[in-house]
Amino acid sequence: MTTASGRPSEPFDGEALDAYSRTVTAVASAITPKVASLHVPGERGDGSGSAVVFTSDGFLLTNAHVVGGARRGTAAFADGTTAPFAVTGSDPLSDLAVVRAEGATPGPVRLGDSDELVVGQLVVAVGNPLGLAGSVTAGVVSGLGRSLPARSGHAARIIEDVIQTDAALNPGNSGGALADSRGVVVGINTAVAGVGLGLAIPVNSTTRRIIDSLVSFGRVRRAFLGLVTTPAPLPEDLAARTGQRTGLRVVDVVRQSPAARAGLHPGDLVLTAGGRPVRDAQGLQRLMFAEAIGKPLQITVTRNGALVDVITEPTELLDTSA
């Protein structure tokens, strides 16, 4: 077969298309029953979104912006059953929230590890928007390591390692599942980044700690240093000596913060914190939980070609809900 230009056309690969369709269909079939539509009453009008069952005793994972300031609502599942839910905990600085259904729920999804994703990998976004059970779109991971600003009251934070995908997100899909080709949930859909682009909060070691804290305590206690940073490559000689290719360049230091009191300055390149290499912002943020509050934390930086060790003492990050 030839095209209009006379060149041979590419043969239609029906088998590959069938394999793709079978994969997406299988993931949708496994995940859709476990994704609920949330109806959330609010003072400024009712809200809605999706949520994912992740435990066998009725806990669902969704976005903090889906539940807002509500404490209760109703979850509806694809099989037509409904159940009231109570908000267990919400963390606007990660845009994650946990709710618990007061009744029977479908079995849980499997939570995976988004750190294993690669660009180009097939992903399937499953939501339950506005009660329209089984909104399914498929695409690929189009970007990794994206950042998403989050704010709660006067506190601000960057959500790191956000997953960018071209699996289109429909209104009401926020809080739904982003699954890989095995049907393992690797992210929680959170926002539309543009035409044909969606963002998802990653499921990884850091977010698992946030989820565990929301289930156990209803909130997340965080430590605060007062650093604004960006990833930066290490000088070649230092990279060869340490085996570390990147660190965190200090862009700004909050006045009177623990970092400022410790003597950290804009321009410093952070290499380690607590004796662990810091290669990206998540490497520092994963240390900033409750157990770090009020405890000495050694940070090693390179400054003007010299290695400098400082001792900081993180304080508690307050005013996250004002």
Phi, psi of 233 (to 5 degrees): -70, 150
Please report the pLDDT score of residue 320 as a whole number.
47
Residue 132, pLDDT above cutoff 90: no
Quick one: pLDDT at residue 131?
57
Query: How far apart are the C-alpha atoms of 85 and 75, rounded to whole Å?
Result: 7
As given in the structure block, the two tokens for residue 266 are 């804009």
The most confident of the ranges 12-21, 42-51, 155-164 is 42-51
Q: What is the mean pLDDT of the chain?
A: 86
Higher pLDDT, 46 or 264: 264
Q: Are 69 and 55 in contact (CB under 8 A)?
A: no
pLDDT at 282: 73
Task: Point out the catalytic residue in the list 37, 39, 50, 65.
Answer: 65
Mapped onto helix, strand or coil, the DSSP state of residue 211 is helix
| 56 assigned to active site | no
Residue 79 has pLDDT above 60, yes or no: yes
pLDDT, tens digit, for every residue of 151-210? 655 555 667 678 999 887 776 789 999 999 999 999 999 876 666 788 999 999 889 989
Q: Is the predicted pLDDT of residue 249 greater than 60, yes or no?
A: yes
Q: Which one of the listed residues 91, 95, 161, 268 is annotated catalytic?
A: 95
| Separation CA 236–CA 194 (nearest Å) | 37
Is 65 catalytic? The answer is: yes
Clarify whether 213 is annotated catalytic: no
Give one DSSP letter per residue of 237-278, joined into a string: HHHHHHS--EEEEEEEE-TTSHHHHHT--TT-EEEEETTEE-
Residues 6+ apart with CB under 8 A from 144: 117, 118, 119, 161, 163, 164
Average pLDDT over residues 20-30: 91
Measure the CA–CA gap between 164 and 169, rounded to whole angstroms: 11
Q: Which of 166, 174, 213, 268 is catalytic?
A: 174
Residue 15 predicted with pLDDT over 50: yes
Q: Using alpha carbons only, how large is the chain's radius of gyration in Å?
A: 22
The residue among 109, 99, 100 whose CA lies nearest residue 29 is 109
pLDDT in tens, 227-242: 888 889 999 988 898 8
